[in-house]
Amino acid sequence: MCPLWAAQTQLLLTWYAIFSGEEDIVSTAMVDYGFFTLVYRSTRRGLDQKAPRSTDMPWKEWAFWESWKRVLGAIFIISTLSVVMFDVNPSFNTVHDLDFDTLDDERLWNAVSEAEWRGLRTLPRENDRRSIRDVVTGLVSGDATEPCQEPYHISALTTLIVIYGIVVYIWQATTVAETFEPLGQSPTAQPNALASALLHTASQALARCHELLSQACANRGSALGDRMETSLLFNCQCVLRIAYIRMFTSTSILSRPSFVAFDDAAVESAISHFVSGSEKRRPGILKAVEAAFEGFRVSVNMGHMLVRKTAALRWSLEHAVAGWDCALFVTKWVHSVEIDALNGVPPDAEESRLLTSVREVLEEADYEALNDTSLAAGLAKTWSAFLNDVWVWGITPRMGSMLSQLATAYEGVYDKHRGSRVIS
């Protein structure tokens, strides 16, 4: 393994480079990312072969191995965020790459002295010999009878890495499923049994993750109090929304606006291609749209002006990336339903209910959604405001700017279809 300090330093520099919003810096960081693949795999093997498992290890030795586990978790996280932002394939998988011990509780990590650490070390630790892979597998397979109780007593940071593992698992499952059952095939085609089984298992895994987080928030929410909005559990909730979206975007993801293209012409072309495609009305997509829309709804309910002005202080980078990802997914669905309605295919009862909810939330955000204007455009424009003022990471203003351009594109397509309908 390379020196711990070297891995930590390179990781921090790469993290800031990738999310800097500067083309040259981002390109260099992405090219150099192979370094982390080598570090990750050599370190994971080293942890498996050399890391002590005794609960009696000295404080300094424990801190050394715990630091390496956290480096692995951070590499896995930044790799998965790159999948969402840059439309690249995952660098790691959930079968072998998450096969290292779960991280210890944050109270142990934050102990200021060896005496305090040893006092906390005497507490029950049900997850001593469980790997992160074991937890992910349990959520996918449903083997654990009560996933929110004792079998899943894991630290908040472990939970965050587990949810990222579920994002990768969903990406892999839907990609394999679409090999057997392409999204563009005829609606009357016979469903493929293997594809259906994979998607059903993925859906069940998402439900178990939702239950796990609900229980964790119920157990720890009162203790966190006002810090809940800056906690790791709060991050887990937005990452879970990313996982829901991966159920429906694996094949169309290459047509989405990408930050790899930094020149205006390329971005404009990507947006045009993204808007022109239609979102198929598939089973389960409404649940994913509702999950993705929840982040916007919560922000508005908390006070949209307050959230916009304090997002830089309260949000993690995951919230910015998840917000952008959810905005693309939800606005595209709204736009597709609106265009279908103009072409004589009205929304069904559940779709109408969700569209009404979108209008109500926009009105609460002081946006007047008129019946003869694009709802998708209004949603994209309003959602962009939550990202425009967050200058902590250079990439977030680009996210907001892209959503604003997307709103203009939605509006243009909507007006064109509406005009054609009026003429006919």
More confident: 410 or 149: 410
The values of phi and psi at residue 392, to 5°, are -60, -40
The pTM assigned to this predicted structure is: 0.90
Q: Of 56-65, 113-122, 144-153, 167-176, which range is least confident?
A: 144-153
Q: Over 60: is that where the pLDDT of 226 sits? A: no
Number of C-beta neighbours around residue 126 at 10 A: 12
- Quote the CA–CA distance of 195 and 181 in Å, as a whole number: 6
Confidence of residue 51 (pLDDT cuts 50, 70, 90): low
pLDDT band at 239 (very low <50, low <70, confident <90, very high): very high
> Does position 91 have pLDDT exceeding 60, yes or no?
yes
As a whole-number percent, the residues of the chain with pLDDT over 90 amount to 38
For the chain, which residues make up each domain, given as ranges? 256-424
pLDDT tens track for 258-311: 655 667 787 888 888 888 877 777 778 899 999 999 989 998 988 888 888 877
pLDDT digits (tens, 9 = 90+) for 104-136: 888 889 999 999 988 888 655 544 568 899 999
101 has pLDDT over 70: yes
- Which tens digit of pLDDT belongs to each residue from 27-39? 888 877 788 889 9
Poorest-pLDDT segment among 140-154, 196-210, 344-358: 140-154
Residue 409 has pLDDT above 60, yes or no: yes
> What pLDDT shows up at residue 372?
82
Query: What percent of the chain stands above pLDDT 70?
Result: 84
Helix (H), strand (E), coil (C) string for the chain: CCCHHHHHHHHHHHHHHHCCCCHHHHHHHHHCCHHHHHHHHHHHHHHHHHCCCCCCCCHHHHHHHHHHHHHHHHHHHHHHHHHHHHCCCCCCCCCCCCCCECCCCHHHHCCCCHHHHHHHHCCCCCCCCCEHHHHHHHHHHCCCCCCCCHHHCCCHHHHHHHHHHHHHHHHHHHHHHHHHCCCCCCCCCCCCHHHHHHHHHHHHHHHHHHHHHHHHHHHHHHHHHHHHHHCHHHHHHHHHHHHHHHHHHCCHHHHCCCCCCCCHHHHHHHHHHHHHCCCCCCCCHHHHHHHHHHHHHHHHHHHHHHHHHHHHHHCCHHHHHHHHHHHHHHHHHHHHHHHHHHCCCCCCHHHHHHHHHHHHHHHHCCCCCCCCCCHHHHHHHHHHHHHHCCCCCCHHHHHHHHHHHHHHHHHHHHHHHHHHHHHC
Residue 147 pLDDT: 43
For residue 379, pLDDT over 90 is answered with yes
pLDDT at 161: 95
